[in-house]
């Protein structure tokens, strides 16, 4: 074997050895330590339909984001009016996207209207106001649409961050419809915990417990207190001042911690520089008072501020289990949802169904592959054997590529592999028929190989390149199952061209050798 042929053979043996190494974790459960330290240990990831898991469609209640915007706008307007000494009253939100209020005295009405028009151009006055003479404003339609669209995008990103923190391998998270989010979590069987983690709004607020429970504006919030003797929680009602001293946006990190001396686990939070400064001022100004830590409208704890707290660190206590504390830390790190989400659709795929799908897919793959290999062997003899070897190498390289790039194998992905094998066989049939034509024309084996591959290559490239482009479009715009099909199809086309054209030619050259009178079994 000359040097050029040795190099060509090494370009086949090298990828084959790499593929075997990459696929070894799929067949060996206990890998040695030396392997784990230097070689791949991650098997091919299985999709929801093969591994089992949870399929959710979440509906983002984007109208709530618009309501929140109106509520915040009312609070800002009320504060600015107070700063300009404009007396107002009867503030309320009208419907989803409008607000109304009254100005005390006609002298300040025009000044208030100018304040709104100058500061809030997205608020449009409603002609005639309200029947009682109050001023009424509505958010402009483009502003409402923008708030809803942004709420869905933010919810999508927040859900993705939470699931990444949850540690699910190869999740599918994408927008569906106008206000929906598709979530697929392979391998997750605890549907309730997953839904609670994903759908929790996680609106965190720090507010003071009111000194006078009967004062105007005081909020009544429910919560629980831990009995110091029995350590059992009891439901309580808290009177909370309406002013929000600090919100969850200032949290830079949150970690769950186990409780000490029989106490329940808790969550330790770290505030950013702004939050640390605000928290320092809040605690300094309110020593001796109780501060409520409110999560999604429920008081988690209401400790007494004993002293000024600097350093930007605080804890959230409650009657948490370790999983509840861990999940709370996850949602606080990932951020609050801009609007509530509800589960519109839910399906749980059991692992037994996944095993049945794998078994059925494997049987069909082996049976179909065996029949094709037998046909190629009988019809093309040694050339058919070379085609079968190239087809086997094709499958190995395809699966190894999925494992190396952390792709996910799905049931449609198996269909993509089967289609890839069909295209590989088609390429070899095309090559072999061209070689036969050249042999019938009286050419030698070497000349027939050269001409056969040269004539077949343009047709093979045309069909595979167009299919590859179609696969890219499917992967870019398709949903989860379509993506799985497109992924294996695109990888399979690359491995098909390499094995069916290049590898089979090298094997043909090895069989025929360099003798001028060599014969070709085809």
* Lookup: tokens for 493: 């086309």
Tokens standing for 62? Answer: 């984007």
Last residue of a domain, one of 347, 375, 396: 347
| Residue 157 forms part of a structural domain | yes
Neighbour count for residue 11 (Cβ, 10 Å): 12
* Residues shown for the chain: 522
Stretch (H or E) spanning 451: helix 445-477
Q: Is residue 270 a contact partner of residue 309, using CB atoms and an 8 Å limit? A: no
Please write the tens of the pLDDT for every residue from 62-104: 898 898 888 888 888 888 888 888 888 888 888 889 999 988 8
521 inside domain: no
Q: Are residues 408 and 369 part of one domain?
A: yes
Q: Are residues 301 and 379 in the same domain?
A: no
494 and 405 in a common domain = yes
The CATH number that applies at residue 461 is 1.20.1640.10
- Which pTM was predicted? 0.58
- Across the chain, mean pLDDT equals 85
Span of 110-119, 185-194, 285-294 with lowest mean pLDDT: 185-194
pLDDT at 139: 92
- Higher-scoring residue by pLDDT: 129, 133: 133
pLDDT at 479 over 80: no
Interatomic CA distance for residues 22 and 82, integer angstroms: 68
Same structural domain, 358 and 233: no
Pairing between strand 408-409 and 45-46? parallel
What are the residues whose beta carbons fall under 8 Å from the beta carbon of 276, sequence distance 6 or more? 310, 311, 312
* Residues 72, 45 within the same domain: no
167 contact partners, CB below 8 Å, separation of at least 6: none
Q: What is the tens place of the pLDDT at every residue in 227-244?
A: 656 667 778 899 998 888
A 10 A CB-CB count for 478 gives 16
Residues 369, 474: one domain?
A: yes
- Judge if 90 and 116 occupy the same domain: yes
Residue 468 has pLDDT above 90, yes or no: yes
Cα distance between residue 184 and residue 511, in whole Å = 50
Residue 45 and residue 408 in contact, taking contact as beta carbons nearer than 8 Å: yes
Q: Helix axis angle, 191-199 relative to 322-334, nearest 10°? A: 40
**What is the DSSP secondary-structure string of 314-334?**
EEE-SS--HHHHHHHHHHHHH
Q: First and final CA of the chain: distance in angstroms?
A: 23
Residue 355 pLDDT exceeds 80: no
**End-of-domain residue from the set 145, 173, 203:** 145
353 has pLDDT over 60: no
Does some domain include residue 190?
A: yes
Cα distance between residue 444 and residue 215, in whole Å = 104
Domain annotation covers residue 293: yes
Identify the domain boundary among 145, 173, 205. 145
Per the listing, tokens 């060996």 go with 28
Q: How far is CA 111 from the centre of its chain?
A: 49
Whether residue 407 is predicted with pLDDT greater than 80 in this model: the reply is no
Same domain, 166 and 242: yes
Region 189-196 average pLDDT: 79
Q: Residue 518 domain-assigned?
A: no
Question: Does the pLDDT of residue 522 top 70, yes or no?
Answer: yes
Same structural domain for residues 361 and 484? yes
With 70 as the cut, is the pLDDT of residue 480 above it? no
Q: How many domains does the chain have?
A: 3
Strand, coil or helix: 176 = strand
pLDDT recorded at residue 442: 86
Confidence of residue 266 (pLDDT cuts 50, 70, 90): confident
Q: Is the domain of 217 the same as that of 327?
A: yes
Q: Is the pLDDT of residue 465 over 80?
A: yes
Domain with 507 in it: 3-51+350-512
Q: Is residue 368 part of a domain?
A: yes
CA angle 515, 520, 522 (to 5 degrees): 170
- Position with higher pLDDT, 503 vs 32: 503
CATH number at residue 214: 3.30.1360.200
> Do 235 and 329 lie in a common domain?
yes
Provide the 8-state DSSP code for 273: H
Percent of the chain with pLDDT over 90: 21
């Amino acid at each position: 074997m000359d040097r050029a042929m040795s190099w060509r053979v090494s370009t086949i043996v090298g990828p084959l050895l790499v593929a075997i190494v990459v696929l070894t974790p799929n067949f060996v459960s206990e890998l040695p330590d030396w392997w784990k330290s230097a070689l791949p240990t991650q098997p091919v990831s299985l999709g929801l339909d093969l591994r089992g898991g949870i399929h959710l469609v979440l509906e983002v209640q984007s109208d709530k984001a618009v309501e929140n915007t109106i509520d915040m706008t009312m609070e800002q307007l009320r504060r600015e009016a107070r700063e300009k000494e404009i007396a107002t009253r009867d503030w309320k939100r009208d419907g989803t996207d409008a607000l109304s209020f009254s100005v005390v005295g006609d002298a300040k009405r025009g000044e208030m209207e100018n304040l709104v028009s100058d500061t809030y151009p997205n608020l449009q006055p409603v002609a005639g106001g309200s029947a009682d003479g109050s001023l009424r404003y509505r958010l402009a339609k483009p502003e409402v649409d923008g708030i809803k669209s942004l709420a869905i995008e933010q919810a999508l990103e927040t859900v993705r961050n939470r699931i990444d923190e949850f540690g699910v391998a190869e999740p599918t998270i994408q927008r569906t419809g106008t206000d929906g989010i598709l979530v697929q979590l392979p391998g997750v069987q605890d549907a309730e915990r997953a839904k609670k983690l994903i759908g929790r709004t996680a609106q965190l607020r720090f507010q003071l417990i009111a000194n006078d429970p009967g004062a105007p504006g005081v909020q009544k919030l429910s919560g629980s207190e831990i009995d110091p003797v029995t350590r059992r929680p009891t439901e309580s009602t808290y009177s909370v001042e309406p002013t929000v001293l600090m919100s969850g946006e200032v949290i830079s990190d949150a970690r769950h911690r186990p409780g000490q001396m029989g106490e329940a686990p808790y969550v330790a939070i770290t505030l950013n520089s702004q939050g640390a400064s605000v928290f320092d001022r809040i605690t300094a100004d309110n020593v001796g008072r109780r501060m409520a830590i409110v999560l999604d409208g429920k008081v988690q704890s209401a400790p007494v501020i004993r002293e000024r707290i600097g350093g930007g660190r605080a804890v959230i206590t409650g009657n948490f289990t370790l999983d509840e504390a861990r999940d709370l830390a996850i949602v606080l790190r990932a951020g609050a949802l801009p609007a509530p989400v509800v589960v519109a659709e839910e399906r749980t795929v059991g692992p037994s169904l996944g095993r049945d799908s794998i078994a059925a897919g494997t049987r069909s793959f082996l049976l179909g592959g065996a029949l094709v290999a037998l046909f190629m062997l009988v019809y093309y003899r040694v050339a058919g054997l070379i085609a079968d070897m190239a087809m086997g190498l094709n499958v190995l390289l395809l699966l190894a590529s999925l494992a190396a790039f952390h792709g996910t194998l799905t049931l449609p992905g198996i269909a993509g592999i089967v289609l890839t094998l069909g295209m590989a066989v088609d390429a070899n049939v095309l090559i072999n028929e061209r070689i036969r034509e050249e042999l019938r024309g009286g050419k030698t084996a070497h000349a027939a190989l050269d001409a056969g591959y040269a004539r077949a290559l343009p047709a093979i490239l045309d069909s595979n390149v167009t299919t590859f482009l179609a696969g890219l479009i499917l992967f870019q715009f398709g949903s989860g199952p379509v993506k799985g099909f497109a992924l294996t199809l695109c990888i399979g086309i690359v491995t098909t061209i390499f094995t069916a054209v290049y590898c089979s030619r090298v094997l043909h050259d090895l069989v025929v050798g360099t003798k001028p009178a060599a014969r070709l079994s085809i």
